[in-house]
Amino acid sequence: MGYALTKQQLNEYLKALGRQYLLVGPIREKAKGTFSDTDKIVYGVFEAFEDLVLEEKAFYSPKEFLMPIRETLFHFLDGQIVEPKIDTKPILIFARPCDLNGIRRLDTIFLKNGDIKDSYYERRRNLVKYVMIECTEGFDTCFCVSMGSGTYKDYEAAIRFDGNQTLLDVVDSTLVTEGLSQVIRKDFVPEYIKENKVKVVIPPIDKVNNSIFEHPIWKEYTRRCIACGRCNTSCITCSCFTMQDVEMSDDGLLGERRRVWASCHIKGYTDMAGGHGFRKQNGERMRFKTMHKINDYHKRFGENMCVGCGRCDDVCPEYISFSKCINKLSEIIKEESHE
Amino acid sequence: MGYALTKQQLNEYLKALGRQYLLVGPIREKAKGTFSDTDKIVYGVFEAFEDLVLEEKAFYSPKEFLMPIRETLFHFLDGQIVEPKIDTKPILIFARPCDLNGIRRLDTIFLKNGDIKDSYYERRRNLVKYVMIECTEGFDTCFCVSMGSGTYKDYEAAIRFDGNQTLLDVVDSTLVTEGLSQVIRKDFVPEYIKENKVKVVIPPIDKVNNSIFEHPIWKEYTRRCIACGRCNTSCITCSCFTMQDVEMSDDGLLGERRRVWASCHIKGYTDMAGGHGFRKQNGERMRFKTMHKINDYHKRFGENMCVGCGRCDDVCPEYISFSKCINKLSEIIKEESHE
Amino acid sequence: MNNPYMPRPYTLISTQKETEIDTTFVFEAKDRFIGGQFMQLSIPGVGEAPISISDFDEDSLTMTIRKVGRVTDRLFAMKPGETLHMRGPYGNGFKQEWFRDHDMVVIAGGTGLAPVKNTIDAFVSNPESIKSLQMIVGFKSPKDVLFKQTLNQWQEKVPMIITVDQGDDTWPNEVGLIPSHIKNLDLTNVANKTVIVVGPPMMMKFTTLELLRLGFAEENIWVSFERKMSCGIGKCGHCKIDETYVCLEGPVFNYTKAKTLLD
Amino acid sequence: MNNPYMPRPYTLISTQKETEIDTTFVFEAKDRFIGGQFMQLSIPGVGEAPISISDFDEDSLTMTIRKVGRVTDRLFAMKPGETLHMRGPYGNGFKQEWFRDHDMVVIAGGTGLAPVKNTIDAFVSNPESIKSLQMIVGFKSPKDVLFKQTLNQWQEKVPMIITVDQGDDTWPNEVGLIPSHIKNLDLTNVANKTVIVVGPPMMMKFTTLELLRLGFAEENIWVSFERKMSCGIGKCGHCKIDETYVCLEGPVFNYTKAKTLLD
Amino acid sequence: MSIDRKIVTKNAYRITKIRNKTALRVRVPGGHLEAKYFQIIQEVAEKFGDGTVHLTTRQGFECPGIDFDRIPEINKMIRPLIESLGLDVDYGDGGYPAAGTRNISACIGNRVCPYANDDTTRIANSLEKAVYPHDFHFKIAVTGCPNDCIKAHMQDFGIICLTEPQYESKRCITCEACVDNCKKKVTGALSVKDYNIERDIEKCIGCGECILKCPAGAWTRSEEKYYRMVIMGRTGKKNPRLAMPFIKWATEEEITQIIKNTYGFVERYIDTSLPKEHIGYIVDRMGYQVFKMKVCRKGGLYHARNFFTGRSTGCAH
Amino acid sequence: MSIDRKIVTKNAYRITKIRNKTALRVRVPGGHLEAKYFQIIQEVAEKFGDGTVHLTTRQGFECPGIDFDRIPEINKMIRPLIESLGLDVDYGDGGYPAAGTRNISACIGNRVCPYANDDTTRIANSLEKAVYPHDFHFKIAVTGCPNDCIKAHMQDFGIICLTEPQYESKRCITCEACVDNCKKKVTGALSVKDYNIERDIEKCIGCGECILKCPAGAWTRSEEKYYRMVIMGRTGKKNPRLAMPFIKWATEEEITQIIKNTYGFVERYIDTSLPKEHIGYIVDRMGYQVFKMKVCRKGGLYHARNFFTGRSTGCAH
């Protein structure tokens, strides 16, 4: 069902939705940027349209509403093991197609990899619905079109912010508030981006073999990459985590177990008890991530993990471009196939 | 008797003179300037024409050949008081009219002020003869014309360095060397400077009275003058000195008494045993010097002490101009006379 | 919530010190296990650690554990009768049917003997299930030797090379790295022999290279991987190698697969 | 070389301590002096110092000297019979003929009494040479009083105010600065009285001001200047004031001249 | 040649080694200026000077080889530059006041540098407004972070911009990048406890490196900006020394007040018999305690927290 | 946006606070340049940057707000400037090597300053030739006199130009200007004895102030020029410290050799696991004695006179 809302109507609508849902979208955290006197755009809870930041890409993705950076799995109390409760208010995430496609990758890992579902993810996932923010232009580093993730159809609603008018397509009837009955109905079919400035060519899966592991390109990244992990933390599809157990009382009776985001770039990712680890070189880590995003996951699940949101490019302090890396790899594989 | 000498003849003549006389003229001391990588032009012993520096004014005057900066008056040895001997080789000073007129002022002070002649000055004075270097252009700070000291007639010889030719007028027959008989005779009457860039007006002696002592002009010099004494040490006419007694052996039996240049600008000039002194303000010292140079001495001896060589202007680290000071004073006295 | 991360309590029945740093723990357990699978040992407030199952029967679960971190430190302080938590079993394990009627060679290095112990025991107890069995077991030094009694029992029944990298005066067996002993096995019909290789990464690497050199067939070599694991159920990502999750598809791999798993 | 700087030896005959820091030295001397002239005391290797002549006769020279520097330090260490050097006398001195038949007032402060002592003695010894004599002599404090015996002798013969800036219980005479006592002099026919004023610069300044205020004539006032002197013969420049050399034209000046000598 | 040396040098021209030649000195507070004024400097150097320019360590231009009598012309020419730099303190075409208090210098600050915790040029300019014109020999510099590129530790007043890192444990992934970095490059103020990062506030120097290193946004900047002031550092012939800590976690208002108070202190205690007694020597002479009491009492700073104990003991905090 | 950060920053461009914007940094060895090149800086700033320029404390220009992809154009444009500064080390149009060893800075030196004992810019340029291009993190500065306007005491190698004052008693008038000044402004190395000036050579720091103050030319400059080198000073977060004296009365050749030897020392002992270990920390780690032995042995300096004892005792002179 399509609507055309004025700014005022939009805010009234959001207010009404807010009673039902926690509204999450890209917002500005004033002066909370990494560098002094800079802001940080993040996904956070908002109330009104004016809170939303649409002209800049958020530094972090909305994934933390599905998999918090730190999530407590258990509380321990003198032998008892208790699952913590979470806020059960439904969440409405306003996000672009790339991120929504990214969340679908998270679903895959947490719910479809192996026989066992991740119950913590699932219970949050079940609380979330999506309002797709129409995105036809993208940003400088986006390459969603190449990744086939510029479109998304499974939204509960779609929205176009267009000057003074906002167009809304509501699929999920629970999102049709009473107020909407006062709003002009107007059919709205969201458009999708047709071309990014950045284009990548994914090497064909059947052409990729282990010989690429030995290629000097990874050495280059050993030189350049500082293994800070920003590409992982900002990535909408990175889903790795590590367990942390904490004893909160001296007698050890009170404690908790949590999981926190892990990063395949950051030291310790593969270290086992006893100290042995793998992929000590930063270039090996770059390779691992790259292959995961455009090859391994694809082999397992039939689509690429990477959705081309380009955040890894935006946040790399060493200005390493993942899209450039993919294209380089493609070139290498193309050349090797020809040989 | 006039001569025209080639460069070679000149140097041969100088060589011949050098056997008889210590030749003294303006020479360059390489890298011995106050500031690093600068030279200092001073009056010193020279041998050849090339040693002479004519394009720059010497920092110090030639007076130190008549009154050394330090001159030992007596050596003491266990009760004996001994006058030191000096080198009795005659000295031939090559200098411009201003300096030669300045030396005449020294003669006046040392030989004619009071009934008693200064024997130390006299014995050196008697060794010295003068070759007047013709000076028709002067330097930027010269004001000899205003002081009437741009001309000098009592020279033993006069010399004009004129490109490849040197013209010589010899008055003193002892300066006619054998070699000169080989040289072309040419009448030479030295010319004198007619106008300086800097002109001063000396306030008429009868118009100067004690009221000038109170004038704020001296306060200005208290602010500006740092009492370093360079104007005195560089002055051709400053003749003040102070006694220094030194015991050279621990038992006090060996010692000397010397006199060293004194400066009416430098602290201690008027301090008596017990500590009382006069003219504590630097402006008062400036006034004292100024009046001495253009008024007091004139009252005593009928001509101004200052010969307008301008060295005090050249050497003042605070860029105080004595010629400007004279002119300011003239203006003040002129105005006061009119009132 | 059907929570796969929820650990269950297990009671410690007995412990057996194997070496200075290795101890065998026996827990009461009624679950069904496969040798080579692993459990997530889980001490509330301390952490979890993936531990290979070294033996089991209907009522018990045995794990030989090295003291190498926070979790095992706590474990080593426990006394029989106390309870700890675990979840699992995870992984594929050594499925007995893979080896039925094979000429078996088991090569185990150090703690690598633990995950394969149950399998060897099965071979030894049921010699009819396989064609033949010979073994190489290696340790760093005599004081690192695990399962001494068991080894003695096996040795009575099976051709077996027991070696240490560095011996001492009392050491009655072989000395030298495991790969150097492979050629001393009975290598008749080598192309049809099946090998299980378990041990530290370097040992596995050089052992398989030697095996291939001596004519073993890739598809007849089985290895077990050890990796960092946080979840054991294919979510946390740590154990992933290429498109393979060790916790799901491993830890036991046929060499034809294992050789493609490059870190 | 006729060397005017050459000092001559003089033998110390006797010393007389006047105060803690002033001592009167008597030297053997046949030269001719005028009271108010000065000698350049000259200690080889130590220095020279201009010292006023306080008294003299055909055979001796007396100087009352304050211990204030290197040269006087040495002098004070000397004993009668020892020799030191001097050159001089220099300066004009108080010429007796200037004062013949005058109504004389002598005002002396502190060590200023020394240069004028010989002149006062002449007045006192030859009262006929002048019309009248009265005196003010001032010191800082009782312990600074010079020539105590002489003062007593003079006091018997001449109207005399002896004052100290600051008295004590034992002080029998006046208290207060010299200028404050001038008005207590016999000031009849003041315009024709002649005054000799000798003392420290400030004392001379305020004394002359007071004298003028009370009606003394400028041309009847005589002062003696003290200045730094290195040569004593008009070369070294130190004592020059305007066009005047104190060593040559002074140190004694009529006030009509002295008032123009501004430092 | 007659010039009033003191007036000339106070008016941004210096005495040079070469007799009768001066050099124009243009101080650039905070070191940042619009490029268009480069033209003026170039023109001065080429038309009146020897065609060269020296970039001074206090961030000024120096054009040597200038005749003294061209000063009025040059003053007219540099007027737009002087005005744009905010240096024009009622001098009109008479140049601008210099010497005395030296150019307030600053590193490039957070206009450009990722490490800087504040806009150092802005602070330099605002301090300039607070203290100029002043004859006292003061050196002030502002540096954007404790790395101290401007060498604040060699100034009378070195101002080091700080942020107080805010830790949000729920965003922390315990990667320890902050801890490792702090140990390696800073003061080791961070440690891990129970997978959380603990910040030793005594050791923390407020550099903000932890914020820069954090991949997950667990560390962010404090809303307030803070400043550490180090004092009485100096080069010089007599006894060069590193500046000593004076106040930490101060506000901009506080540091400005301290500097202003110090001018009052100098006014009262300077030894005018010396040519230009440097503040450092005055403090040495009067004693640190006296100085501290005097500059902190005014403006109510005396009881402020965060003062360092200073060089002598027993100092009230 | 993809750039090779390490290559870019090594090539005089920096990472700035603003994503995708860089800043050109042009170091000016010794701080002195021809004014005509100001045009180039201005043009870069206005055409490619944000129209502003920062004057750095190490005497460089920094033009912020530049897009990374304009680097090649800018490199072409600045080529004449780079060449004139002698920075062109086989880079052609590729810019010039920067970072690593920092710009060798210098006070204005004796081209202008009356106090300077040498042409500091010349020395900076000659050291530049001796050490560039080099990746090691070194800071070197040359100051014309011990007044140390360049803050040599905060460098790894601070070079202080000296002269050894020559006293000619027969020209001395005992005005004591030198003595008073040395006591007031310097180290009190001069005293009067029997109307002559005595120079305590232990106290004398070779500043030459006595020469400047002498009205009679009794003090003159030594024919040889000398240098004092202070080492291992630094700012920074970890532990800022004043440089320590290392060698005094050294020749230019000697100081150059010591610096060159130090590069060898670093090459051998640097901890490459750290991002860019700073020479000061390497010396701290290896110990002063090892450092001294290594840098002085080569080139025969080990037994040179005039070494300071250094921070530990028992050091061979």
Q: From the first residue on, what is the mean pLDDT of each consecutive set of 10 residues in chain F (317 residues)?
A: 76 89 92 95 96 94 94 92 80 66 92 96 92 83 95 95 96 96 92 95 94 96 94 88 91 92 89 79 87 76 50 30
For the segment B222-234, the average pLDDT, to the nearest whole number, is: 95
Domain hosting A143: range is 2-185
For the segment C138-164, the average pLDDT, to the nearest whole number, is: 93
| Claim to verify: residue C200 and residue C75 sit in the same structural domain | no
Residue F147 touches chain B, beta carbons under 8 Å: no
Residue D25, pLDDT > 50, answer yes
| Claim to verify: residue A37 and residue A180 sit in the same structural domain | yes
| Claim to verify: residue F191 and residue F128 sit in the same structural domain | no
Residue C31 included in any domain: yes
Are A and B close enough to touch, i.e. 3+ CB pairs under 8 angstroms? no
Q: What is the DSSP string of chain E?
A: ----HHHHHHTTEEE-SSTTEEEEEEE-GGGEEEGGGHHHHHHHHHHTS-SEEEE-TTSEEEEEEEEGGGHHHHHHHHHHHHHHTT--SS-TTS----SSSPP-EE--GGGT-TT-SS-HHHHHHHHHHHH-S--SB--EEEESSTT-TT-GGGSSEEEEEE---EE-GGG-----HHHHHHHHHS---EEEETTEEEE-TTT-----HHHHH-SSS-EE--SS-EEEEEE--B-SSS--BPPEEEEEEE-HHHHHHHHHHHHHHHHHH--TTSSS-BHHHHHHHH-HHHHHHHHHHGGG-TT-TTB---SSS----
| Claim to verify: residue F113 and residue F233 sit in the same structural domain | yes
| Claim to verify: residue F263 and residue F286 sit in the same structural domain | yes
Of D240, D249, D183, D243, nearest to D216 by C-alpha is D183
pLDDT digits (tens, 9 = 90+) for A162-207: 888 999 999 999 999 999 988 899 999 999 999 999 999 999 988 8
B265 vs F177: CA distance, rounded Å: 12
Residue E290 touches chain A, beta carbons under 8 Å: no
pLDDT at residue F299, as a whole number? 57
Question: What's C254's domain CATH number?
Answer: 3.40.50.80
Does the beta-carbon distance from B114 to D234 stay under 8 Å? yes
Q: How high does pLDDT run on average in chain B?
A: 94
Residue E95 included in any domain: no
Residue C85, pLDDT > 50, answer yes
Q: Which long-range contacts (CB under 8 A, 24 or more apart) does E270-275 make?
A: E270/E136, E274/F184
Residue B330 included in any domain: yes
| Claim to verify: residue A256 and residue A112 sit in the same structural domain | no
What residues of chain A, 59 to 78, have a C-beta less than 8 Å from chain E?
Answer: 59-60, 68-70
pLDDT digits (tens, 9 = 90+) for C122-150: 999 999 999 999 999 999 999 999 999 99
pLDDT at residue B339, as a whole number? 63
What residues of chain E, 199 to 218, have a C-beta less than 8 Å from chain A?
Answer: 208, 211-218
For the segment C212-216, the average pLDDT, to the nearest whole number, is: 94
For the segment C209-225, the average pLDDT, to the nearest whole number, is: 94
- Looking at B71-75, C19-23, D139-143, E271-275, which range is the least confident one? E271-275
Residue E89 included in any domain: no
| Domain boundary, last residue among D66, D89, D112 | D89
Q: Closest Cα of chain D to B98: distance in Å?
A: 22
| Claim to verify: residue D136 and residue D178 sit in the same structural domain | yes
Structural domain tally of chain D?
Answer: 2
Question: What's E24's domain CATH number?
Answer: 3.30.70.3340
Closest chain E residue to the Cα of F242, Cα to Cα: E242
| Claim to verify: residue E183 and residue E157 sit in the same structural domain | no
| Claim to verify: residue B107 and residue B247 sit in the same structural domain | no
| Claim to verify: residue C84 and residue C200 sit in the same structural domain | no
| Claim to verify: residue E78 and residue E17 sit in the same structural domain | yes
Percent of chain D having pLDDT more than 90?
Answer: 90
Residue C244 included in any domain: yes
**Which residues of chain E have a pLDDT value below 50?**
303, 309-317
Cβ C27 vs Cβ C13: under 8 Å: yes
| Claim to verify: residue F170 and residue F274 sit in the same structural domain | no
| Claim to verify: residue D34 and residue D137 sit in the same structural domain | no
Does the beta-carbon distance from E19 to B35 stay under 8 Å? no
| Claim to verify: residue A321 and residue A172 sit in the same structural domain | no
Q: Which chains touch D (3 or more CB pairs under 8 A)?
A: B
E20 vs A19: CA distance, rounded Å: 82
Structural domain tally of chain A?
Answer: 2
**Which residues of chain A have a pLDDT value below 70?**
339
0.85 surpassed by complex ipTM: yes
What residues of chain D, 42 to 61, have a C-beta less than 8 Å from chain B?
Answer: 43-49
For β-strands C221-224 and C193-198, DSSP reports them as parallel
Percentage helix, strand, coil for chain C under 3-state DSSP, each rounded to 5? 30, 30, 40
Residue D61 included in any domain: yes
Q: Within a 10 A sphere around the Cβ of D144, how many other Cβ atoms?
A: 18
Of D141, D145, D121, D144, nearest to D133 by C-alpha is D121
| Claim to verify: residue F200 and residue F246 sit in the same structural domain | no
| Claim to verify: residue A175 and residue A214 sit in the same structural domain | no
Query: Which is more confidently placed, E224 or B248?
Result: E224
pLDDT digits (tens, 9 = 90+) for B127-172: 999 999 999 999 999 999 999 999 999 999 999 998 889 999 999 9
| Claim to verify: residue C198 and residue C139 sit in the same structural domain | yes
D7 vs D40: CA distance, rounded Å: 8
Q: Within a 10 A sphere around the Cβ of C200, how many other Cβ atoms?
A: 15
Place of tokens 């090779």: F4
For β-strands D160-164 and B40-45, DSSP reports them as unpaired
Q: Which residues, at least 6 apart from F12, have a Cβ–Cβ distance to it below 8 Å?
A: F24, F25, F26, F27, F95, F96, F97, F98, F99
Q: Is the dihedral of CA D90, D93, D95, D98 positive or negative?
A: positive
Select from C4, C236, C262 the Cβ nearest to the Cβ of A116. Answer: C4
| Claim to verify: residue D179 and residue D218 sit in the same structural domain | yes
pLDDT at residue F314, as a whole number? 27
D1 vs B152: CA distance, rounded Å: 30
Select from F2, F6, F8 the Cβ nearest to the Cβ of A324. Answer: F2
Select from B228, B229, B244 the Cβ nearest to the Cβ of F195. Answer: B244
pLDDT at residue E309, as a whole number? 41
Domain hosting D81: range is 8-89
| Claim to verify: residue C121 and residue C45 sit in the same structural domain | no
Q: Three-state SS for A261? A: strand
| Claim to verify: residue A264 and residue A151 sit in the same structural domain | no
Residue B316 included in any domain: yes
| Claim to verify: residue B103 and residue B232 sit in the same structural domain | no
| Claim to verify: residue A180 and residue A230 sit in the same structural domain | no
| Claim to verify: residue D85 and residue D105 sit in the same structural domain | no
| Claim to verify: residue C19 and residue C101 sit in the same structural domain | no
pLDDT digits (tens, 9 = 90+) for B287-329: 999 999 999 999 999 999 999 999 999 999 999 999 999 999 9
Structural domain tally of chain E?
Answer: 3
| Claim to verify: residue F257 and residue F153 sit in the same structural domain | yes
Question: What's C47's domain CATH number?
Answer: 2.40.30.10
| Claim to verify: residue A31 and residue A176 sit in the same structural domain | yes
| Claim to verify: residue C77 and residue C23 sit in the same structural domain | yes
Residue A304 included in any domain: yes
How large is the C-alpha radius of gyration of chain A?
A: 22
Residue E99 included in any domain: no
Give F152's contacts in chain E (Cβ within 8 Å): 235
Does the beta-carbon distance from A233 to E173 stay under 8 Å? yes
Residue F207 included in any domain: yes
Closest chain A residue to the Cα of C1, Cα to Cα: A119
pLDDT at residue E85, as a whole number? 87
Cβ B319 vs Cβ B154: under 8 Å: no
Domain hosting E212: range is 166-220
| Claim to verify: residue E242 and residue E145 sit in the same structural domain | yes
B203 vs A288: CA distance, rounded Å: 97
Residue E96 included in any domain: no
For the segment B188-195, the average pLDDT, to the nearest whole number, is: 96
Give A233's contacts in chain E (Cβ within 8 Å): 173, 215-216
| Claim to verify: residue B15 and residue B102 sit in the same structural domain | yes
pLDDT at residue D15, as a whole number? 95
What residues of chain A, 177 to 206, have a C-beta less than 8 Å from chain C?
Answer: none
Place of tokens 């013949």: D100
D230 vs D238: CA distance, rounded Å: 7
Closest chain E residue to the Cα of B226, Cα to Cα: E275
Q: Closest Cα of chain B to E43: distance in Å?
A: 27
Q: Which residues, at least 6 apart from E313, have a Cβ–Cβ distance to it below 8 Å?
A: none
Select from E33, E46, E148 the Cβ nearest to the Cβ of F35. Answer: E46
Compute CA distances F165 → C62, F189, F204, F247, whole Å.
88, 11, 9, 18
pLDDT digits (tens, 9 = 90+) for C166-196: 989 989 999 999 999 999 999 999 999 999 9
B259 vs B267: CA distance, rounded Å: 17
| Domain boundary, last residue among C89, C111, C133 | C89
Of A42, A238, A312, A269, nearest to E176 by C-alpha is A269
Does the beta-carbon distance from F19 to A314 stay under 8 Å? yes
Residue D2 included in any domain: no
| Residue D63 zone, left/alpha/beta (φ > 0; ψ -120 to 50; rest) | beta
Give F85's contacts in chain E (Cβ within 8 Å): none
Q: Which chains touch E (3 or more CB pairs under 8 A)?
A: A, B, F
F179 vs F198: CA distance, rounded Å: 9
pLDDT at residue F131, as a whole number? 85
pLDDT at residue F310, as a whole number? 36
Give B140's contacts in chain E (Cβ within 8 Å): 1, 20
Q: Closest Cα of chain A to C153: distance in Å?
A: 30
| Claim to verify: residue D157 and residue D235 sit in the same structural domain | yes
Give E272's contacts in chain B (Cβ within 8 Å): none
Q: Any idea what DSSP says for residue F241?
A: B
pLDDT digits (tens, 9 = 90+) for D205-218: 999 999 999 999 99
Select from B74, B76, B119 the Cβ nearest to the Cβ of D4. Answer: B119
Question: What's E210's domain CATH number?
Answer: 3.30.70.20
| Domain boundary, last residue among C89, C121, C138 | C89
Residue D263 included in any domain: no
Q: Closest Cα of chain F to B180: distance in Å?
A: 37
Does the beta-carbon distance from A34 to E171 stay under 8 Å? no
Q: Which chains touch A (3 or more CB pairs under 8 A)?
A: C, E, F
Select from E32, E38, E111 the Cβ nearest to the Cβ of F38. Answer: E38
Residue B158 included in any domain: yes
Residue type for position F90: D
Cβ A257 vs Cβ A243: under 8 Å: yes
| Claim to verify: residue F48 and residue F20 sit in the same structural domain | yes
| Claim to verify: residue A83 and residue A112 sit in the same structural domain | yes
For the segment C89-117, the average pLDDT, to the nearest whole number, is: 93
| Claim to verify: residue F205 and residue F122 sit in the same structural domain | no
β-sheet bridge partners, residue F61: F26, F55
Q: Which residues, at least 6 apart from C19, have a Cβ–Cβ distance to it below 8 Å?
A: C143, C144, C145, C146
| Claim to verify: residue E16 and residue E47 sit in the same structural domain | yes
Does the beta-carbon distance from E57 to F149 stay under 8 Å? yes
pTM of the model: 0.89
Q: Closest Cα of chain F to A308: distance in Å?
A: 14
Residue E269 included in any domain: yes
| Claim to verify: residue D235 and residue D180 sit in the same structural domain | yes
E281 vs E292: CA distance, rounded Å: 14
Crossing angle between the packed helical segments A322-338 and A282-291, to the nearest 10 degrees: 80
Select from E117, E173, E220 the Cβ nearest to the Cβ of A261. Answer: E173
| Claim to verify: residue A209 and residue A177 sit in the same structural domain | no
